[in-house]
Amino acid sequence: MSTLHPGAAPATTTAATSGAPAPDDPAARSTTSFFATMLTQTLIVLRKDLLLEWRSRSRLVSVVLFGVVTLLLFSFAVGPDVRALREGTAGFLVLALLLSSTLGLAESFRLEQEQDAVEGLLLLPIEPVALFYGKALGNTIFLSLLAPILIPVALVLYSVEPAWSDFLRLFGLWLLTAAGLSAPGTLYSAMTSQLRSQDVLLPLLLFPLVVPVLLGAVKALDLVLTGDAMGQLGSWTIMLLAFNLIYWSLCGIVFPRAIEAS
C-alpha cells in the first residue's frame, strides 16, 4: 500500500507544471502559412510590374512631364505674386500629384487588358488580394518616384526655401499621399479596365473618395513649408495614416469581387 508524503505533489499537477511544450496549434500554423503565401504572391506581382515598367519607362516619362507642365501652368496662372505662390505651393504640389496619378493609375491593368491576360491572372494559383496589393504597391512606388522631380521643380518655381531637415518630411508626406491615392485608384482601375470610357470614369470615381487624403496632404505639406507654430503636423500626419489604413484594408476586401465582376 503506497503512502502519500505531505510534501509530494500529485502526478497530474507535476505534469501540468513541468513546462512541457504544448502541441502546435493547427489554426496558428495555417494562418502563418496563409500570410506567408500572400506575401510571396504579392512580391511576385510587384516584381513583374516593376520589371515591365523599367523596360518601357514610357508611363513614367509621360507622367513626369505632365506633372512638370502642371506646375508650370500654376506658376503662370498666379503670375509674379511671390507671396501667393509660396502660400499655394502645397496645394499646387498635391494637385500635380493628383492629376498625374490619373494617368498612371489608368495604366495599371491596361497591358493585361490589351493582351487579354486578366482572366489568365485569375486562373493562376494567386489570391486576388495578393494581385491587388502587388498592383497597389507598384502604383505607390511609381507615384513616389515623382517626388524627387516635382518637389524641387515646385520649390524653384514658387521661390520656397525650406530647411534641409524638412526634405525628409516632404518626401514622407508625399509617400503617404501616393499610398492614399494608389489603393482606391488600383481598385477603380480594375473595375473600369474593360470600359472604353475608363479615362473619364476613373477620375469621377476616384476624386470624391480621396478628398480626405488631399485635404490632409495639403495641410501637412503647408505646415512643413511655411512653419508649424502650433504643432499641428503630427495630427494631420496621423489623419493621413488613418485613411491609408482604411483604404488599404477596405479596397483589399472589395477587390476580389470587383475583379471578378469586371
pLDDT at 11 over 80: no
Q: Alpha-carbon distance 56 to 5, whole Å?
A: 83
pLDDT at 118 over 70: no
The predicted-structure confidence for 174-231, as pLDDT tens digits, reads as follows 999 999 999 999 999 888 877 777 778 888 999 999 999 999 999 999 999 988 888 8
Q: Alpha-carbon distance 35 to 86, whole Å?
A: 46
Task: Tell me if 204 sits within 8 A of 214, measured CB to CB.
Answer: no
Q: Which residues of 56-91 are buried (b: 16+ CB within 10 A; e: fewer)?
A: eeebbeebbebbbebbeebbeebeeeeeebbbbbbb
Q: E strand or H helix at 202, and its extent?
A: helix 198-209
Mean pLDDT of the region 7-24: 46
Q: Alpha-carbon distance 239 to 241, whole Å?
A: 5
Q: Alpha-carbon distance 133 to 111, whole Å?
A: 17
| Per-residue pLDDT, 80 | 85
Query: At 27, is the pLDDT very low, low, confident or very high (cuts 50, 70, 90)?
Result: low
> What predicted TM-score, i.e. pTM, was given to this entire model?
0.83
Q: Alpha-carbon distance 251 to 236, whole Å?
A: 22
Q: Alpha-carbon distance 128 to 85, whole Å?
A: 44
Q: E strand or H helix at 259, and its extent?
A: helix 233-261
The predicted-structure confidence for 74-98, as pLDDT tens digits, reads as follows 999 988 888 899 999 999 999 999 9
Instruction: Break the chain into its structural domains and give their ranges.
Output: 42-261
pLDDT at 259 over 50: yes
The predicted-structure confidence for 60-78, as pLDDT tens digits, reads as follows 888 999 999 999 999 999 8
Lowest mean pLDDT among 11-20, 23-32, 120-129: 11-20
For cell 512631364, the residue is: 65
